[in-house]
Amino acid sequence: MRRARLVLLSLFAATPLGAQWQLSADAGAAHLRQTGIPEANALSLGGSIDALGERAALRSRVLLSRAADQRWTGQGVVLASLIGPNTLGPNWELAGALSAFGQTSASSTTSAEGMARLRLGATSFGGAIGAGAGALFDATGARPLYHAQATAWQSLRGNQLIADVSFVGTVGPDLGNGALSDGTRYLDASASWRRDHGAFELGATAGARAGLNQSASGGWGSMDVTTWVAPNLALVATAGRSLEDVLRGVPRTQYVSLGFRVAAHPHASIRDLRPPPAAPKTMVTRTGVVLHADSASRVELMADFTDWEVVALERSGSEWRLLCEVPAGLHRVAIRVDGGEWIAPPGLPRAADDFGGIVGLITVP
């Protein structure tokens, strides 16, 4: 019941954000191994709902699984954050997390946590430090938890890198006489990498834990590969090893899983909206223009950045090049191949000009 409330809460909380949505459902099979526990196969059904509003973000994950012996497990986590209005400098962030984990014939573990963060930088490069507190509910009752975290991130040529150091501590269970036992404390350091490259999404995470009190030290890691085989359908493979997650109540596990993902929104790289690969392409950068025109014997270009003077491009293999300074901003470009008509360069977006012609339109960052 508590888990059901959690799922409903995640749906309700996301509604007023006026957000861009990402919804997906996963179905697959997993093979798991734990120390002292027989290896097992299980079928799993999961879902994710992500929403990004102007100053708010929400991520939720839910998974139900059924092992061969009719045993069910369930896990859900909801992360929500509200970010301050400052778009140009340091910014505050208030974040909250709710999680639940349970299995058939066993008591569940739930947690609620709030955190305040100071964020610096932008989405492409930045960092955050924060601290928070919450409560953990399990078979031994309710216990306080506390959490401090430092995170840095950078996006570099399509790669997203995140490094994170966090300290997690809990107060131990009530000893029955009003006193609390010594709790768990550990320090985690992790690094993760993600890349969305065409039809493939790749991710890897590695981390190490220093157990400070009643927690084992060790390392963990995981890899995942998502291959979009259709605009809304992907094959997802994951493998990894995780340590006990005190905050989420999940024990130490090794796993390999394979499944399908159905997404509500088509994956951009699969939706066939781009020109066919065989079409010649044009690239305009701050340092000039490069275009492919194998069969041409002469290529000329005129553009606002040449003051509409006609300039001949130089051949370099199958490419035609013009080295020149191109200011940032929107530019209109036209080319002429072998003395023919002025046309928009191949592969560039086209727009009508003021005088009845067509030019290529490109924004150079």
Residues 170-209 that bind another protein (CB under 8 A): 188, 190, 192, 196, 205, 207
What are the structure tokens assigned to 22, written together? 């990402």
Based on the shown chain and the rule CB under 8 A, indicate whether residue 290 belongs to the binding site for another protein. no
Interface with another protein by CB under 8 A: which range of 135-143, 210-218, 315-323, 355-363?
Answer: 355-363
Residue 274 CB, nearest distance to another protein (Å)? 6
- Residue 294 or 354 having the CB closest to another protein: 354
d(CA 307, CA 320): 20
**Is 305 strand, coil or helix?**
helix
Give yes or no for residue 159 binding another protein (CB under 8 A).
no
| Contacts (Cβ under 8 Å, ≥6 apart) of 295 | none
Residue 183 in contact with residue 198, Cβ under 8 Å? no
Interface with another protein, residue 321, by CB under 8 A: no
Task: Check residue 24 for interaction with another protein (CB under 8 A).
Answer: no
Quick one: which segment of 138-146, 176-184, 254-262, 317-325 binds another protein (CB under 8 A)? 254-262
The yes or no reply on residue 26 touching another protein (CB under 8 A) is: yes
Q: Residue 345, interface with another protein (CB under 8 A)?
A: no
Surface-to-core class of residue 342, CB atoms within 10 Å of its CB (0-12 exposed, 13-18 middle, 19+ buried) = middle
**The one among 3, 13, 65, 291 contacting another protein by CB under 8 A:** 65
CB 237 within 8 Å of CB 210: no
87 binds another protein (CB under 8 A): yes
Kindly state whether residue 212 participates in binding another protein, applying the rule CB under 8 A.
Answer: no
Is residue 2 near another protein by the rule CB under 8 A?
A: no
> Quick check: 299 binds another protein (CB under 8 A)?
no
Contact positions with another protein (CB under 8 A) in 121-140 = 122-124
118: Cβ contacts below 8 Å, ≥ 6 apart: 90, 91, 92, 93, 128, 129, 130
Q: Tokens representing 164?
A: 């994170």
> By CB under 8 A, which span of 41-49, 137-145, 177-185, 211-219 interacts with another protein?
41-49
CA distance 130 to 3: 27
Q: Which of 118, 208, 304, 324 binds another protein (CB under 8 A)?
A: 304
- Measure the CA–CA gap between 337 and 294, rounded to whole angstroms: 11
Contact between 112 and another protein (CB under 8 A)?
no
90, 114, 198, 329: residue in contact with another protein (rule CB under 8 A): 329
Q: In whole angstroms, how large is the CA radius of gyration of the chain?
A: 27
The piece of 133-141, 177-185, 260-268, 291-299 that touches another protein (CB under 8 A) is 260-268
CB of 337 to another protein, least distance (A): 17
How far apart are alpha carbons 111 and 94 in whole angstroms? Answer: 17
**Residue in 25, 50, 108, 292 binding another protein, rule: CB under 8 A:** 50
Residue with tokens 């509500």: 264
Query: Look-up: residue for tokens 């008591």?
Result: 107
Q: Does 110 bind another protein (CB under 8 A)?
A: no
Contact with another protein (CB under 8 A): which of 40, 199, 225, 233? 40
- Asked if 314 contacts 301 with a C-beta cutoff of 8 angstroms, the reply is no
> Does position 101 bind another protein by CB under 8 A?
yes
Separation between Cα atoms, residue 49 and residue 42, nearest integer Å: 23
